[in-house]
Structure 1
Amino acid sequence: MKKIFRITAVVAAVAILGWCLFTFIEFEYAYIPPDRETRGKERNSAELLSVSSKAETGSDEQLKLGKKMFFAETFGNEVFFTDILGMFDGAFTLSNITKAIIQLHGEGTSSLKVEAAQSFQAGGVSIKKGDLIDTGLDVAKGTYVPLGVKFVVDEGRMKAGVSCAACHASVDGKGNVLPGIPNTDLNIGLILAMGSNSASYFTHTEMKNLREFMKKADEISKEKQQIQLPDAEKLEKFVDAEFVKWPRGSNDTTIDLENNPVQVSDSFTLGDQPYGWSGQGQVGPFKGLSALINNTHSQNMDAVSQSSISGPVLGIDKDVYLGTLLQRAAHKKYRYDPTSKETPSAFFAKVDPTPGVPGVNRMIPAATYPKISYLSSVGLLPSASGYKAWEQVNAMSAYTNSLQPPSTGLKTEAAVYEEGKRVFAKAGCISCHAGEYLTNNQLIKPGEIGTDPSRAAGFKRTEKYFTSPKMYPSDTPVPLPKHPKKEDLQLTPEQEKHLKLGWAHGNSSGAYKVPSLYGLYWSAPYLHDAGVAVGSKNELGVSNTLMQGKKADAVNSLQALVDSKLRRQVIEENLSDNRLRTAHISGNGHEFWVDETTGFTSREQQALIHYLLRFTDE
């Protein structure tokens, strides 16, 4: 059992010298904030039961576990991000991260500035050695690791992985932790692009045909037992250029071979079902929330896990897929030599840290493995030994359901607030954004909402390798018994209909969920593509805000969402930037105006904005 130690400034200083004290021991550390050091409210089980059903709540013990999982559990993804993708082997290094944190002298920050260890260039982005990289990583006051990052010493070397909190928690100006509030300036695309083997994440880019990068036309010569892989350098440069198109606070979350990032959502999940931007999380524990979390950890945190479905889903031979991921692996242990007579599958089997399941994360086969179901997009389930199947994922669901946003601090007169509430009803917003959490929990087809349709169909490819959902009973231990029990998940015709929409199966082109407006103040910019972004000084569009390291202002961005003239200006700015256009980011759609074109005054528009941003303060 690995021991967890609290990192101190002394330990962090040692890390800069090469982590030499830890060469022969194992340890791991991620920061889990005490309750007194967080803003916002984490409800206990009794409070949750008073406002929701048992299907959405957990025991106090489960909530405690969920918090630990949310802030510290990586399921071992430090192997993929450090040893395979090489996230810390380029301009962005672990020693320079630590150096930057030490220079904070115990003060927190909402965007850690890290000195570039080497020069980097991709897609118009140019960073010189010694420049400060504006990472967007948050560091809580008095701590020595970024929020949501776990440092691990394993196999005699330092590695790092990420937990939910890296994207779904933030710190305020005083260094206090804000659980559930998205890290809207986290520079995910740039951080990935700076890795030495970003190509291992190529399924999240605009990859129409892997043959474009092949040295020869034939992918596999079965007679010679040789595999023709993509040109490693050419593919790496292409993937890097794709990643730097992602706005801050956005991530591509599907393996549809299209570059269609979505903004990181908040984690105020209670009442916000179905889950995910396309509403794919609808069934299973916690009304589908656990299925969404499962997808995040089994698919997006370990590209190697997709090897079992690469053939039927992506149309890429398993050995070609594995070889593509591993031919530039950061650490020699996982680096495949294309000139060897050994197949990538045979090579990986010898170094696989988690034999028995595809990938390198700590996972178990889902009840439908190797097939995909509505519960698992890759047929796997993240779970560590000593827990029950679904136990860790369900605990995270219980915890995020317990989260409530903190006060916005906005000042609004009571009369203005009440007027905004009336405008909300009069303008018809309430027809979709109804109820306590301001959502009717429905799905809308892309043609109806008018937003870019690409991401709505993000799970369409999975239909090729799909089966009816099954689950392990809640008492199923991990590691799994030789013949674990499995239970069919019964679906109603109505559920089947909505699931086909969310997964874009059959003749469906997919859908977008009607999101809850709970905590809207904290989730600017708006729409799934983060396209409706306006800065605090009225900078218009993503290219003039997020791509410049400027946060979107909630008041100004929400005005652009409901004002037709302002929105047109935002869209024009977005479409003038080729990076955004080719990453499916425009800010189009959701044309429900509350302005002079629909008979509303400027005063009424502002009242609506302040009502929507402040209603969770009441």
Structure 2
Amino acid sequence: MRKRYVAIIVVLLLLIGGGVLYHSNFEYALLPEENDIKQYKANEQKGFDIWGKWISQHESNTQKSSTNEKKTLFSPEQGAIPIDERLLKLGREVFYKETFGNEVFLTDIMGIIDGPLTIGNMAKAILDLKGKGTTNLKVELAEDITIGDRTYKKGEKIDTGIDVPKGAYSPLGMPVVWNDGKIRIGISCAACHATVDPHTKKVIEGAPNNDLNAGLLMALATNSSAYFTHAHIEGLQKYIRSLDRKVIDSKGKEAILPDPEALEKEVDRIFASWPRGNFDSTIDMKANPSQIPDSFTLGDHPYGWSGFAAAGSFNGLTVFSNNVHAQNADSLAQSEISEPLFGIDEEVYLGTILQNAANPKLRYKPTTERKPSEFFQSVDPTPGVVGVNQLVAPPQFPKVSLVAPDGLIVSEKGFRFNEQNNAVAAWQNTLNPPDPKKRPTAEQIERGREVFVKAGCVSCHAGAHLTNHRVVSSQFIGTEPSRAQALKKTEKVFGEAVLYAPDTPVPIPKNAKVLKVPTDHLDKEQIRLAFAHGNSPGGYKVPSLIGLYWTAPYLHDGGVAVGRNGEPGISGTVLKGIVPDPRNSLRALMDRKLREQVINANKSSKQLQDVHVSGEGHRYWIDEASGFTKEEQEAVIDYLFSVTSP
């Protein structure tokens, strides 16, 4: 047992009890040591990235160019990002430790530990593990709560899906901050994009935390309605219960805020319906959570379920990394574009988020004497920046763009513009999955590869990374179409792809160098599909198949799931606390009879219907009806599970 971790948890408990001075500061985030990691073969990534073009260290040293030409080519003015040991180290630290201040939104506004889920009970649950580690921290609730048609009782232990590695006394990806006399919890990349091996309890870097119960955790918050744009809310008018909640909108007219309790109940119900391992990263006011993706990112561009992150550094991976913190961790960041995106006036939008804030200092009381924006300006912990996270407005703001589809960029004071996003992108590109528990023989792998080719899978899943890097129309692929339309309204506020030069310091100085990001090489129809702009139905990217063993269940909605004993669908597995079996689930992806069972099971659940999880689409079969034997089907599974590096 590691004494330093015990000491940390003791300090946290003292903090809770008020055992330190009010004005002291304390931060802690788990950064696993090398022997705490399940080993894998890392990709070599030292060199330069220039707007997605990779130049290795060897290539840069041997290029037949003059010294001045090299300086120009590899300069920040050309968008060049030097990838060295320092940047990779920073990237790993960002992955595990960096919140960009989202603990303020999660704790002070959303109230994630102010309701039935408390920091004290979480600490107790971790101590009860006695260093053994877990893939699913079970935490006692501190009070009763009714969500939808279910009542959770005080003392009941809930499945959080929070991972704690062996020997650790802090969860993965949940930094703890103490300041201003208050303890806060934030979220880093590792909460979703790393997990604990169920057998060794070591950390698997880059594997999705496919049982993280993110929806329920937020539903237990006291103000989950601060995140209402990620739920199915057709309009705020439906939740108006009284004319007493008047405010002055941005046009100087009176407007009514929704009843916080009524809105909270509906948002809680939707969030609690998310399957474990899913997260709704879109702000289209529809309930369409998608499966948490892995971070085995090298060669898996474009990024995001729709392939929306395609431009800029690392072939769009920097854009995708930024998305989590610039959009998913601070709803206030969209206040200036709430009208075109949601049809909600900026003042009404801000007032709705803040009217039930957990921290009384940030709680807005509806009044016609003070606009919500005026109130927020007086209490904003990050003055001069939209929202409460550590954000920078790029040159096109408040418009969005291919390189800032959220409109904003997370960047901390003291770093360079976008440096932390670039760092974590570079480091993620070094990640590969470890070998599965049982590795097939070389003969089995070769046989499976032959069947994979014979079945025509390589028409999409081609090359070293098993992807053709294309976005496929949702109408063609046949999967649930809801998510494919999620970014359509961004067309109303779409601007030019411009960024500050990567050596620009933060805060951004006046007259900072602005670079136009190259986008002419991108297929315009592919971009239309990724964002569902114009009359496009939207689409889904062809993902890499590296690391499939660690990423069950399958498809973008995570709907193709089968348990170890054949339990079909999310309704037969995840919703019952049964872990989907990778082999059985992958078999159901390629066998039409098994898939039909999965789809029928999912459709029998109203909970899954409400959040558009079905397991439909991708009708490409390797089964007896297509002329393949069961042995050939198993061989393909063996082959795909063996692919652990490009």
- Alignment TM-score, normalising by the size of structure 2: 0.91
- Would you say the 8 A contact 1:13–1:99 is kept in 2? no
What is the CA–CA distance in structure 2 between the aligned matches of 1:44 and 1:478, rounded to whole Å?
Answer: 30
- 2:315 match: 287
**Distance apart, 1:457 and its partner CA:** 1.5
2:421 corresponds to which of 380, 393, 396: 393
1:301 corresponds to which of 311, 329, 338: 329
- Would you say the 8 A contact 1:472–1:484 is kept in 2? yes
Deviates more, 1:352-361 or 1:554-563: 352-361
1:496 aligns with 2:521: no
- Would you say the 8 A contact 1:56–1:286 is kept in 2? no
Per-residue CA shift, 1:422-467, capped at 9, x if unaligned? 1100000111001111111111000110001111121111111111
Per-residue CA shift, 1:520-561, capped at 9, x if unaligned? 110000000000011111111101111122221100000000
- 2:6 match: 9
- 1:37 match: 36
1:526 aligns with 2:523: no
- 1:26 match: 25
What is the CA–CA distance in structure 2 between the aligned matches of 1:507 and 1:43, rounded to whole Å?
Answer: 42
SS at match of 1:474: coil
Deviates more, 1:554-563 or 1:55-64: 55-64
What is the CA–CA distance in structure 1 between the aligned matches of 2:256 and 2:639, rounded to whole Å?
Answer: 59
- Would you say the 8 A contact 1:45–1:57 is kept in 2? no
Q: For structure 1, which runs of at least 5 residues remain unmatched after alignment?
A: 1-5
- 2:468 match: 440
- Alignment TM-score, normalising by the size of structure 1: 0.95
Per-residue CA shift, 1:362-403, capped at 9, x if unaligned? 011012111111111231100000100010000000010000
SS at match of 1:471: strand
**Distance apart, 1:407 and its partner CA:** 0.9
- Would you say the 8 A contact 1:199–1:325 is kept in 2? yes
**Distance apart, 1:617 and its partner CA:** 7.6
Distance change (3 Å), C-alpha of 1:575 and 1:482: same
1:315 corresponds to which of 343, 366, 377: 343
What is the CA–CA distance in structure 1 between the aligned matches of 2:547 and 2:252, rounded to whole Å?
Answer: 59
- 2:205 match: 179
1:203 aligns with 2:229: yes
SS at match of 1:255: coil
Deviates more, 1:577-586 or 1:493-502: 493-502
Deviates more, 1:72-81 or 1:13-22: 13-22
What is the CA–CA distance in structure 2 between the aligned matches of 1:403 and 1:148, rounded to whole Å?
Answer: 17
SS at match of 2:204: strand
- 1:164 match: 189
Give the 5 Å matches for 1:145-294.
145-172=170-197, 173-215=199-241, 226-294=254-322
Distance change (3 Å), C-alpha of 1:474 and 1:617: closer
**Distance apart, 1:221 and its partner CA:** 5.8
Letter in 1 for 2:370: E
Distance change (3 Å), C-alpha of 1:221 and 1:109: closer
- 2:156 match: 131
**Distance apart, 1:224 and its partner CA:** 8.7
SS at match of 2:462: coil
1:480 aligns with 2:508: yes
Letter in 1 for 2:126: I
**Distance apart, 1:497 and its partner CA:** 2.8
What is the CA–CA distance in structure 1 between the aligned matches of 2:86 and 2:403, rounded to whole Å?
Answer: 25
Distance change (3 Å), C-alpha of 1:86 and 1:316: same
SS at match of 2:644: helix
- Would you say the 8 A contact 1:125–1:244 is kept in 2? no
- 1:107 match: 132
1:372 aligns with 2:400: yes
Distance change (3 Å), C-alpha of 1:334 and 1:46: closer
Deviates more, 1:183-192 or 1:416-425: 416-425
Pairwise CA RMSD of aligned residues? 2.2
**Distance apart, 1:412 and its partner CA:** 2.4
**Distance apart, 1:46 and its partner CA:** 5.8
Distance change (3 Å), C-alpha of 1:609 and 1:490: same
**Distance apart, 1:413 and its partner CA:** 3.7
What is the CA–CA distance in structure 2 between the aligned matches of 1:302 and 1:436, rounded to whole Å?
Answer: 37
Letter in 1 for 2:30: Y
Letter in 1 for 2:222: S
Letter in 2 for 1:402: T
Per-residue CA shift, 1:493-517, capped at 9, x if unaligned? 6433322221111221211000000
What is the CA–CA distance in structure 1 between the aligned matches of 2:42 and 2:554, rounded to whole Å?
Answer: 27
SS at match of 2:364: coil
What is the CA–CA distance in structure 2 between the aligned matches of 1:19 and 1:74, rounded to whole Å?
Answer: 25
Distance change (3 Å), C-alpha of 1:74 and 1:453: same
What is the CA–CA distance in structure 2 between the aligned matches of 1:556 and 1:125, rounded to whole Å?
Answer: 31
Give the 5 Å matches for 1:460-479.
460-479=488-507
- 1:3 match: none
- Would you say the 8 A contact 1:56–1:287 is kept in 2? no
1:570 corresponds to which of 598, 613, 621: 598
- Would you say the 8 A contact 1:383–1:389 is kept in 2? yes
What is the CA–CA distance in structure 1 between the aligned matches of 2:81 and 2:512, rounded to whole Å?
Answer: 26
What is the CA–CA distance in structure 1 between the aligned matches of 2:642 and 2:88, rounded to whole Å?
Answer: 27
Distance change (3 Å), C-alpha of 1:68 and 1:19: farther
Distance change (3 Å), C-alpha of 1:56 and 1:560: farther
Distance change (3 Å), C-alpha of 1:288 and 1:549: same
**Distance apart, 1:67 and its partner CA:** 0.1
Q: For structure 2, which runs of at least 5 residues remain unmatched after alignment?
A: 57-79
Per-residue CA shift, 1:261-314, capped at 9, x if unaligned? 000010000000000000000000111000111111100011111111111221
Per-residue CA shift, 1:95-116, capped at 9, x if unaligned? 1111111111122111111111
Distance change (3 Å), C-alpha of 1:29 and 1:340: farther
Letter in 2 for 1:74: T
**Distance apart, 1:142 and its partner CA:** 2.0
SS at match of 1:444: strand
SS at match of 1:571: helix
2:366 corresponds to which of 338, 344, 347: 338
- 2:60 match: none
